Structure 1
Amino acid sequence: MTQISILGCGWLGFPLAKRLIEKGYSIKGSTTSENKLSTLESAGINPFLLILNSESVSENVIDFLAESEILIIDIPPKLNRKSEINAVSTEMEFVKKIQNVIPSIEKSSIKKVLFVSSTSVYGDQNELITEETIPNPETESGRQLLITENILLQNQNFETAVLRFGGLIGEDRHPVKFLAGKENLENPDAPVNLIHQDDCILIIEEIINQSKWNEVFNAAAPFHPTREAYYTQKAKEQNLALPKFSTEKLNIKKIISSEKIQNVLNYKFNLEIY
């Protein structure tokens, strides 16, 4: 039985772990909350309380990685607004967190690393974005994700797959809940680039099953209505106050292409859930 360690059993990592257990994998999962350890254990996950910071990592990271062949890293940068504005204040905090784990990975049985990243590494370029597009992050979190991607991809001690997700949505998470009733929203004509939690999980499963390592994948559903059309419709469906968009229309036409995932993994998105 292949064992997988999932660094970050949160919104995506926890249901991913449960799915992989259903498929016959043995799972170790980390959390930063002691209260969540029993939840992970009751789901069949071998739980670890693992704290990462820019100076150190919990000593039990060695046990967390032991006897696993695959490591999935699914922890967001979580940089606050002040950090995004003042890049100096972050002191590369997220990058350092991952760098602190790498020596333990190199000494462990881990042979494959799947890093969950974001399409924010591209910035707001007005074009069709493919994996060949040169990244140009405009936020501090996007910048640190890109640096971390490169550090992992260049490491010769393990193979890495980078998965750049678009805007994350799910049954309990949708941007329309935050946009409902708001006014003067920007970029009404900008296309949406979203990825549902279900597709996220199944894509990760396919990368593992098909052993597609040393690759970078963009993951956003091939479904790109305008922000105004999409969020207005979703607000109506959920009986929420309609969002109002600014008449000063900006011309951001960024579309994330998922063609590589569809062709290389032969993956079909479930557009009905969008």
Structure 2
Amino acid sequence: MEQISILGCGWLGFPLAKALLKEGFTIKGSTTTADKKEMLEKSGIKHFPIALEAENFSSPVTPFLDGSETLIIAIPPKLRGKNKDYSDAAHNSFVKKIENLLPFIQQSTVKNVLFISSTAVYGEANDVVDENTAPSPVTESGKQLLEIEQLLLANTHFKTTVLRFGGLIGEDRNPARFLAGKENVPNPDAPINLIHLDDCIGIILKIITTNIWNTTLNAVAPFHPSRQEYYTQKAIIENLVPPQFSHEIPSVGKTILSDKVIRLLDYHFIQIHL
């Protein structure tokens, strides 16, 4: 029975771990604190309290990786730095944290790494985007994600697949509430690029069970209405105040294609119309 280590058992990592357990995998999971130990271990997941640091850190990384063939790095954005704008990057750089993790991976049994990234690496391209599009991140988080992608893909000690998710939605991330009641919302005509948790998990399962490594994949539902159309409709369905969009400045936004993940994995999206 293959063992998988999931670094970050949060919004994505925890339900992913439970889905992998159902497929017969043995799972080791990490959180930043010990208070989630009972929750994970009740589900059959061996818990490790691991907090990555930009400086030297003493978390139990070696036993967390020991015996695992695959490592999934699914760290929630809030763990990538204490400040969203990375103004404290010298102490909380996500890049440095992964650099500190690399020697542990290289010395472990891990053969494959799946890195959960974001379509933020494409920046603000006003075009149709696929994996052949040159990344051009504008945010600090997007820049650091791209640097980590390159760092992992270049490492010859293991195989890496980079999975770039669009905006994440699910039961507790209701898109109707994202913009409800807001005014002067920009980019009314920009297309949406979202993906449901069900498909996040489904795509990861496919990657692992079909051994798709050493590649980069976009993962966005093939459903791209305008922001104004989508969020207005969602608010009305939920009996919320629809957002008011501003048309003063021309809309800018990319349409992200997931053709490669559909073709390479023979994947059929579960939640298409979101």
- Residues 130 and 257, structure 1, Cα contact 8 Å, conserved in 2: yes
2-side partners of 1:123 and 1:9: how far apart? 27
2-side partners of 1:199 and 1:272: how far apart? 9
Cα 1:80/1:177, change in 2 over 3 Å: farther
Matched, 1:189 2:189: yes
2-side partners of 1:89 and 1:187: how far apart? 30
- Residues 83 and 90, structure 1, Cα contact 8 Å, conserved in 2: no
Task: Report the counterpart of residue 70 of structure 2 in structure 1.
Answer: 70
Task: Report the counterpart of residue 242 of structure 1 in structure 2.
Answer: 242
Cα 1:83/1:168, change in 2 over 3 Å: closer
Cα 1:31/1:80, change in 2 over 3 Å: closer
Bigger drift between 28-37 and 88-97 goes to 88-97
Cα 1:224/1:81, change in 2 over 3 Å: farther
Q: Deviations over 1:32-66 (max 9, x none)?
A: 12211100000110011111111133341000000
Task: Report the counterpart of residue 52 of structure 2 in structure 1.
Answer: 52
Secondary structure of the 1:117 match is strand
Segments ≥4 residues shifted beyond 4 Å: 79-83
Secondary structure of the 2:104 match is helix
Matched, 1:113 2:107: no
Task: Report the counterpart of residue 257 of structure 2 in structure 1.
Answer: 257
- Residues 186 and 251, structure 2, Cα contact 8 Å, conserved in 1: no
2-side partners of 1:58 and 1:237: how far apart? 49
Deviation at 1:195, TM superposition (A): 0.5
Task: Report the counterpart of residue 89 of structure 2 in structure 1.
Answer: 90
Task: Report the counterpart of residue 9 of structure 1 in structure 2.
Answer: 9
**Paired residues, what number?**
272
Bigger drift between 176-185 and 36-45 goes to 176-185
Give the structure-1-normalised TM-score.
Answer: 0.95
Matched, 1:164 2:164: yes
- Residues 223 and 271, structure 1, Cα contact 8 Å, conserved in 2: no
2-side partners of 1:67 and 1:81: how far apart? 32
Secondary structure of the 2:178 match is helix
Q: Aligned-residue CA RMSD in angstroms? A: 1.6
- Residues 56 and 97, structure 1, Cα contact 8 Å, conserved in 2: no
Q: How does 1:114-193 map to 2 (within 5 A)?
A: 114-193=114-193
Structure 2 alignment gaps of length 5 or more? none
* Equivalent AA in structure 1 for residue 61 of structure 2: V
Q: Deviations over 1:153-206 (max 9, x none)?
A: 000000000000000000110343131101000000000000000000000000
- Residues 50 and 57, structure 1, Cα contact 8 Å, conserved in 2: no
Deviation at 1:83, TM superposition (A): 5.6
2-side partners of 1:12 and 1:119: how far apart? 16
Deviation at 1:257, TM superposition (A): 0.3
2-side partners of 1:114 and 1:218: how far apart? 13
1-side partners of 2:193 and 2:272: how far apart? 15
Q: How does 1:222-241 map to 2 (within 5 A)?
A: 222-241=222-241
User: How many percent of aligned residue pairs carry the same amino acid?
Assistant: 55
1-side partners of 2:113 and 2:220: how far apart? 21
1-side partners of 2:19 and 2:271: how far apart? 20
Secondary structure of the 1:179 match is coil
Give the structure-2-normalised TM-score.
Answer: 0.95
